[in-house]
A and B are shown apart, each in its own frame.
Chain A
Amino acid sequence: MDETDITFFKDGLRLDGRRADQLRPVKIEVGVLARADGSCYIEMGGNKVIAAVYGPREVHPRHLQEVSRAIVRYRYNMASFSVEERKRPGPDRRSYELSKVSREALEPVILTSFFPRSVIDVFVEVLQADAGTRTAGINAAAVALADAGIPMKSMISSCAAGKVADTIVLDPMKEEDNFGQADLPIAMTPNGDITLMQMDGGLTPDEFRRAVEMAMKGARDIYEIQRQALVNKYSQLTDPGHVEAVVQ
């Protein structure tokens, strides 16, 4: 990893001109799909992700249903055109894993006991990928769940931190993810309960603490944008919600 000749910093700024602790621009639109119960489109830097929520609805196939609560199904899928080299369409090992961890990131806040014998389906489609699609997917899915009127204890926001050239950076983009030393995505509630944490690469205990802290700050900033997007949708009910915010 280290023997690449990429320089990650120029005059203290990153390849795309960000500071080490700066998010990429985030844009969230609520209610973009007419036929879904809830939906959300999100852009986080070069990532473009759309999330749709259906339900609670009847469970098919029947044997999956639970008598006392709703089940949650989460499907993370990358479009074949979402990356530079065409991705073979359909589920693979990576997307199975991301679907599972993303579902488990959202499930703790959903009040499944309100809807016994039903299913809440979440579909996340990655239209364009630029590192951090799982975090973008979770952010979009949380907004779409709220838009669908599903009772939740709180929202979920997600953000990653990474390590490149021995520096901890927030929200790594593709170059930093591919040639960096570590990647640490987290998802959490606004009051700091972490529901997802993964790590790829290596960090010392001290670096790990700083990376978690940085990712949590990023997630809090994203929460504010999610919240604003939902509030804006209400104030202009005739139009789809629209908010553009650049976190400094």
Chain B
Amino acid sequence: MDRKVVVPGDLLSEDAKRSGEGTYIRNGSVYSLLYGLANFRDKINVIPLAGKYVPGPGDNVIGVVKDITFSNWIVDINSPYDGLLHISEFPKRIESDDMSKYLRIGSSIMTRVKDVDPTMKVELTLNDRKLGQIKAGQVIDISHTRVPRLIGKGGSMISMLKKELNCNIFVGQNGRIWIHGGAEDMDLALKTIALIEREAHTNGLTDRVVGFLKTEKGARS
């Protein structure tokens, strides 16, 4: 794979059709918008090394309730924009007065972005069996720019991790990750995720992670 470090304004291609994410077109040429890694495939995408998470519809995220209004929970989703979880998006019908009995300030939830409007009002939902309040396990923060590497192509990395680590893992697009499993398995999961975050920019990452897990497990038994 052809990759290169680029800074904003670098010329990437003279063919406007190859413009992908993190690029823009001026006078028929493609330039970089970001400081990051450019991937030269059919389309040229620039993957940033840093930046804030901007929610998009359909994203799974992990949030923390920070306020309760008449009919909404206001949820911090590690982004410049707060999420709104409306009372009707709770899996069961509840009264406004009882909201704090179900989710209190400080409660962590696995949730999904239902819709984002142009003024960046972010609507969340809990209406899915995968979603709900976090009652056990651990949540760790990584940079949201590393999340695609943690999931892998078509989910290859994350399904391998779930199987090998014997843990439940929920990856939030906002860079928060929930892990639940036995104490030893969780320790190893934390180490593995730290490794992926550190080496997210390198080639052949999945193979290296498999090797890492094999030696760690070998040391344990």
Contacts and interface: CB of A to CB of B under 8 A. Distances in A.
A8 B100 CA distance: 74
A147 B48 CA distance: 9
Given A55-B80, A153-B33, A154-B31, A38 B5 contact: no
Interface stretch (B50-58, B84-92, B172-180, B182-190): B50-58
A135 interface: no
A37 B51 CA distance: 8
A109 B120 contact: no
Given A117-B120, A155-B8, A227-B7, A37 B52 contact: yes
Nearest to A111: B33
B35 A147 contact: yes
Sorted nearest first, the 3 A-B pairs with minimum C-beta distance are A154-B9, A149-B51, A149-B50
A151 B50 contact: no
B49 A115 contact: no
A116 interface: yes
Interface in A52-68: 55-58, 67-68
B181 interface: no
Nearest to A117: B120
A177 B49 CA distance: 39
Contact of B80 (A57, A152, A154): A57
A40 to B, nearest CB: 12
Contact of A55 (B24, B26, B52, B201): B52
Question: Which of A57, A67, A68, A227: most chain B CB closer than 10 A?
Answer: A227
Interface string B196-215: 00000100000000000000
A177 B46 CA distance: 42
Nearest to B48: A149
Interface in A229-245: 230-231, 234-235, 237
A155 B5 contact: no
B192 interface: no
Interface residues of B, number: 27
B148 interface: no
Contacts of A118: 80-81, 120
Contact of B51 (A148, A191, A234, A235): A148
Contact of A58 (B34, B35, B80): B80
Given A148-B50, A149-B36, A153-B33, A109 B80 contact: no
A231 B5 CA distance: 6
B8 A152 contact: yes
18 contacts: A55-B52, A56-B52, A58-B80, A58-B81, A58-B82, A68-B118, A109-B9, A111-B33, A115-B52, A117-B81, A148-B51, A149-B35, A149-B36, A152-B33, A153-B8, A153-B26, A191-B9, A230-B5
B119 to A, nearest CB: 6
Given A149-B35, A191-B9, 12 more contacts: A55-B52, A114-B54, A115-B54, A146-B8, A147-B50, A149-B48, A149-B52, A150-B51, A151-B22, A152-B9, A230-B5, A230-B7
Contacts of A190: 9
Interface of A: 37-38, 55-58, 67-68, 109, 111, 114-118, 146-155, 189-191, 226-227, 230-231, 234-235, 237
Contact of A67 (B37, B50, B81, B119): B119
B145 interface: yes
Given A111-B33, A149-B48, A154-B31, A56 B80 contact: yes
Contacts of A67: 119
A151 B33 contact: yes
Given A55-B52, A189-B9, A153 B35 contact: no
Interface string B4-40: 0101110000000000001010100001011111000
B51 to A, nearest CB: 3
Contacts of A152: 8-9, 33-34
A153 B10 CA distance: 9
A117 B119 CA distance: 7
